[in-house]
Structure 1
Amino acid sequence: MVKFAGFFTVATLAALAASASAGNASYIGSVEVVRGDSGSERAQGKVFLDANRNSRFDAGEEGVAGVLVSNGLEVVATDAEGDYALPAYEDMNLFITKPAGYATPVNARMVPQFSYVHKPGGSPPLRYGGLAPTGPLPEAVNFPLIEDGVGDSFECLAFGDTQPYSNAEVSYVRETVGRLLATRDNSATACLLFLGDVMGDDLDLYPRFQEIVSVGGVPQYFIAGNHDFDFDASEDAYSFDTFRREWGPEYYSFDIGQVHFVVLDNVRYPCNGVDPHDFCDPSASTTYNAVLNDQQLSWLANNLAEVPEDKLIVVSAHIPLVTFTDADEQKHQTDNLPALYEILGDRRVLSLAGHTHTTEQILPGESFEGWQEHAGIEAAGFHKIIAGAVSASWWAGDLNDRGIPHATQRLGSPRGYYRLQFDGADYIDTFRTFDRPESEQLHASFNTPRFREWAGKLFAFTDSYPVPSEVLPPVTVNDLGDMNMLTRADLAEGTWVAVNVWNGSKESEVSVSINGGSAIPARRTQAGEGEAVLEGPDYADPLALAKQATQGRQTFRSAQGGDETAGYTTWQGYEWKSSVAGPFQDWMLTRKSSHLWRADLPSDLPAGVHRLDVATTDRHGRSFSETLVFEVVESLPEMAWRAGLWE
């Protein structure tokens, strides 16, 4: 396999993906825009079967009846000839809901072409260009389709927060998402869902990102996130204009099999002077808020009125509807969630989100303190998945064995994505990492008195000092010592196994056994019964925290690079540069987790080497396990080289 400097090149990825693309017989094309004076103030055109695949409605080609078309507010179905007409607005997305059994064209980078932006005057001046003036309303906007072979059984991959801020981090996307898509069998994969924060503020990086992701030969659907907007937009109406140019509408829907996919925009920017929160005050720094605007909610109600009740509705939005991670924060949960609940009614719904850089399973009936105050609901009404982040903790941390930052996520999961397998209106969700087999779904470590003392010192430091800092931290990962060596004092004072099940839910069952003995049930540290989020050394993930505690990469410096290549950068050029190897920032540390289980160890384990088997069964009945070997000792031996014996 040809590599360049240890990494895949885009050309190599494309070659690897050739078989998948050829099997897909990608339909490259566009929406047909017929220029001319229609003599009407209504948007009109045809949805048609593109027999010769030239993206033009030609003589002899047939219209497709019953296809939903929208202007972003009203929704109509095409008539028997495939024709539609809708009111036109000065700034609108005109789009179809791709019907099941059909495919829209994709562009050369596998982005579906199902929409037309009508914005006669274009965007105001924006750093990344926004939308060019579209001119008068076209005479017709025609939407081509072809029949496809995707039935009721298929899969989609969901990626949260790729969020590269630089070309260096786009390369990390190539080595994770690009490599994955180029080397896996995509024949059953009908869609890729990117759940927002596709980019990290620098929207000029979109084209390279698109080229990398296209190697899988799978249609890509994008959700707008709070790092995908034009930061220099003066009002929300312009904030996603560059996103619209590159990807398409901020909200839309499409059908595959028995699933109706709905993409929503719940990021208002700027919210200052619009939403009634302190952080949105006109005098506050320009920022965003999580809310669904009224026009979008009206569109959704109109859209769902045309969708059969027995279809599964998959709702994707960037900011979670509610979240465990930020349950006590208004900004990171959707303001007017009850309005969405009312529109969805009793339908069967799965929602997907990103934003928090965590994996979370929230099942119906689950509840945490803060939801009622900040999102207006007491408990979850349907299944919600927060799909983690490809960038995990923003591409931070030391490099793994593939040369990618480990960036362990805030609730302790590794970097990854979700595979959603649909069979009719049923589905199975699986969290996948980029470097481990599907059978690996958890990790386990020991929460000892020694760990709790160490973690308390670490937390006190990150609460008191900026990160990175030139202040020497009180502890590093080296001070934690051998995490799998337990003393009798550790056992007597309380030691338990902390099991992080990355895709765990309240329905997961977790147990441990020692030396083949009887299973010891583990209990979830957060019951999800309306309690507050619990955090601190007792609720931390020892193994995740050990990885997050000490980052040597921020101390790297060379004679050649000097300041320019010292440490590393993330976010908008924020420098992780220091002469001291310190931890992640306090809010990035795994002080808490909604998918952590605890099993207390017996206090009378004899000295010696022991085997610990950890097992979990998920909500779909699948079982996963891991084995640890640990030691019990009377007291900790000297762990360093005993130099005194050689003097």
Structure 2
Amino acid sequence: MRLILCLAAALLAAASTSHARDRAVTGVVYLETDGRPGRGAGDPALPGVQVSDGRRIVRSGADGRYRLEAVPDGRIVFAIKPDGYRFAARADGLPDFWFTAGTGRDFALLRDRPARHDAEVLVFADTQVKNAADIGYYRRDIVEPLAGRHRARFGITLGDVVNDDPTLYPALNAATAQLGVPWFHVPGNHDLDAGAAGDEDSLATWRRVFGPDTFAVEEGGARFVLLDDVIHLGDMRYVGGLREDQFAFLEAYLAGVPKEARLVIGLHIPLFDAGGRETFRRADRERLFALLRPFADVLVLSGHSHTQRHHFHDADDGWHGAKPLHEYNVGAVCGAFWSGVKDAEGMPDATMSDGTPNGHATLRLPREGGYALAWHPARLPPGDPAFTAAMALHAPKVLRRGAYPAYGVYANVFMGMDDTRVEYRIDDGAWQPMRRVERPDPRVLAENVRDDEADALRGYDRSPEAAPSAHLWRGALPTDLAPGEHRIEVRAFDRWHGEQRASAVYRLQEAAP
């Protein structure tokens, strides 16, 4: 009998503890109109706004009130921004859309200004600052040229916000806040807590600063679902994938999204496998693809690679939608980790291993549907027609007249795809097709040679070792023309922005054996 009573007491204690940890979370979603913190007498309720604990979703009622049952203490609760609204800013400049469960809380939304143009989103990947100097590069190279000069409604950073040093979050966020728009973040593998034993506790610091690691935002007629896709395996090992609670959230959220809606998935590790190995768990990818398959207009944005490419998922990847699934693997803000020779203003070159200059992307959402993407290099060499916002050319300066035409001009078209039309001509002659080649960009190879031959370091870190580029084209240069200088023109036809051009020159010289 005594044993039975002890067991009963233990069960009651456990139930009491569980009850203390899991409780209902309630609050009101309202429209902020008086400009003062907290709900004022004239601030109306907002019905139908979605609120989530990262697994389940409820909607606010006619009185603006929401209720989530049995939420564990410490779990993040957040609101999903409806189109046409925005969140107020927290003290650190980030959107005030989440809190840590333990008590209930109200959510304030502000009516957003009507858009005069197509909705636009700033897309950053891998800011990856490692110290205060890198934050300075980020501010001068990316933020200051953009501040007050963009049309974006909000911005996203697709992971690796810092390089293994979470103490840099406040200073980095202060720089990003200068862009003047709400900013949302996805965690990357370099945002994990050092010493975390496993995936469950690997984002403790992240959640204290940025809140949820998986959530949704609605803007410009599109639904953005932002996902932590880094599965921490311990000892700084990781693999791409998703947790069960994330699948629960996806199922709950997508159930309420019209099948014809534009859907944007943002994550850090690409969904395609890299280097011939499983870099994203195939079983998780298949589950995600099954959830996305019913939707007609899906775009995936990823980071992580510090290169840039477009991948179109098909049946070989496990995608069985009506058309291939477009994944844009966005180049890094930090480029090649803020490496390379510094310019006259002290800014490192930062060109990526595939020849893409560091910079940022934009996503435009036309009112009539679809989307348009663009890459914006952070800096361009002044007065160099061979290096434009769309492409960079490499050609030999001089060739022997009459030599076998074994040398070519290379065009690195930063947003190029497998089917991008790229052509060249010499001296206003006929346009000829260039051939896409998967090889290192000669510009990066030349920089590697300069680093190798230098007797001292040319920068804090040397430029990255050149890697095969997914967007490089080649055309053979004729050597049977007259001696002297000849003009090379290259044109590429961008899917969204039409014809883009760059030019260079080479010289033919007579030579005797």
Scaled to the shorter chain, the TM-score interval is 0.7 to 0.9
Q: Secondary structure of the residue that 2:36 maps to in structure 1?
A: coil
Q: Secondary structure of the residue that 1:551 maps to in structure 2?
A: helix
Deviation (angstroms), 1:607: 3.2
Deviation (angstroms), 1:636: 10
Matched, 1:103 2:123: no
Shift of the 334–90 alpha-carbon distance from structure 1 to 2, 3 Å rule, reads farther
Decide which moves more: 388-397 or 548-557.
Answer: 548-557
**Contact 1:103/1:146, CA 8 A, preserved across alignment:** yes
Deviation (angstroms), 1:552: 8.5
Q: Secondary structure of the residue that 2:279 maps to in structure 1?
A: coil
Matched, 1:310 2:260: yes
1:213-292 mapped onto 2 (5 Å cutoff):
213-269=176-232, 271-272=233-234, 285-292=235-242
Letter of the structure 1 residue corresponding to residue 192 of structure 2 = F
What's the CA shift string for 1:84-133, capped at 9, x where partnerless?
11231244221111001111111244311111123xxxxxxxxxxxxxxx
Whole-Å Cα distance in 1 between the matches of residues 433 and 88 of structure 2? Answer: 52
Matched, 1:625 2:501: yes
Q: Secondary structure of the residue that 1:399 maps to in structure 2?
A: coil
Aligned match for 2:389, one of 431, 440, 443: 440
Deviation (angstroms), 1:621: 5.0
What's the CA shift string for 1:229-277, capped at 9, x where partnerless?
10211121211111111122101001112011110010011x15xxxxx
Whole-Å Cα distance in 1 between the matches of residues 227 and 247 of structure 2? Answer: 9
Letter of the structure 1 residue corresponding to residue 500 of structure 2 = F
Matched, 1:522 2:434: yes
What's the CA shift string for 1:475-521, capped at 9, x where partnerless?
xxxxxxxx3212357x5162222211011113421000011100011
Show the counterpart of 2:126: 161
Letter of the structure 2 residue corresponding to residue 346 of structure 1 = P
**Contact 1:181/1:215, CA 8 A, preserved across alignment:** no
Matched, 1:112 2:56: no
1:177-216 mapped onto 2 (5 Å cutoff):
177-182=142-147, 184-186=148-150, 188-216=151-179
Show the counterpart of 2:445: 545
Shift of the 317–86 alpha-carbon distance from structure 1 to 2, 3 Å rule, reads same
Aligned match for 1:487, one of 394, 400, 403: 400
Listed as ranges, the gaps of 5+ residues in structure 1 are 1-36, 119-136, 273-284, 447-482, 526-533, 558-565, 569-575, 577-582, 638-647
Whole-Å Cα distance in 1 between the matches of residues 114 and 454 of structure 2? Answer: 48
Decide which moves more: 108-117 or 256-265.
Answer: 108-117
Show the counterpart of 1:465: none
Deviation (angstroms), 1:358: 0.9
Decide which moves more: 541-550 or 502-511.
Answer: 541-550
Whole-Å Cα distance in 2 between the matches of residues 85 and 548 of structure 1? Answer: 59
**Contact 2:22/2:73, CA 8 A, preserved across alignment:** no
Shift of the 207–509 alpha-carbon distance from structure 1 to 2, 3 Å rule, reads same
Matched, 1:390 2:333: yes
Deviation (angstroms), 1:332: 6.3
Deviation (angstroms), 1:421: 1.6
Whole-Å Cα distance in 2 between the matches of residues 548 and 515 of structure 1? Answer: 31
**Contact 1:266/1:334, CA 8 A, preserved across alignment:** no
Matched, 1:61 2:9: no
TM-score relative to the length of structure 1: 0.70
Q: Secondary structure of the residue that 1:388 maps to in structure 2?
A: coil
1:388-537 mapped onto 2 (5 Å cutoff):
388-424=331-367, 425-436=369-380, 440-446=389-395, 483-488=396-401, 491-492=403-404, 494-525=406-437, 534=438
Q: Secondary structure of the residue that 1:419 maps to in structure 2?
A: strand
Aligned match for 1:600, one of 468, 476, 480: 476
Q: Secondary structure of the residue that 1:288 maps to in structure 2?
A: strand
Shift of the 90–107 alpha-carbon distance from structure 1 to 2, 3 Å rule, reads closer
Matched, 1:42 2:24: yes
**Contact 1:541/1:590, CA 8 A, preserved across alignment:** yes
Letter of the structure 2 residue corresponding to residue 53 of structure 1 = G
What's the CA shift string for 1:370-419, capped at 9, x where partnerless?
xx5xx656999311111111111111111124321112112111111102
**Contact 1:545/1:590, CA 8 A, preserved across alignment:** yes
Whole-Å Cα distance in 1 between the matches of residues 171 and 425 of structure 2? Answer: 49
Deviation (angstroms), 1:592: 0.9
**Contact 2:269/2:280, CA 8 A, preserved across alignment:** yes
Show the counterpart of 1:615: 491
**Contact 2:31/2:45, CA 8 A, preserved across alignment:** yes
Runs of 4+ in 1 over 4 A off after TM superposition: 37-40, 332-335, 375-380, 552-557
Root mean square deviation of aligned Cα:
2.8
Decide which moves more: 543-552 or 390-399.
Answer: 543-552
What's the CA shift string for 1:203-227, capped at 9, x where partnerless?
1111111111111211111110111
Show the counterpart of 1:530: none
Deviation (angstroms), 1:52: 1.9
Letter of the structure 2 residue corresponding to residue 77 of structure 1 = R
Q: Secondary structure of the residue that 1:328 maps to in structure 2?
A: coil
Structure with more of its chain in strand, by fraction: 2
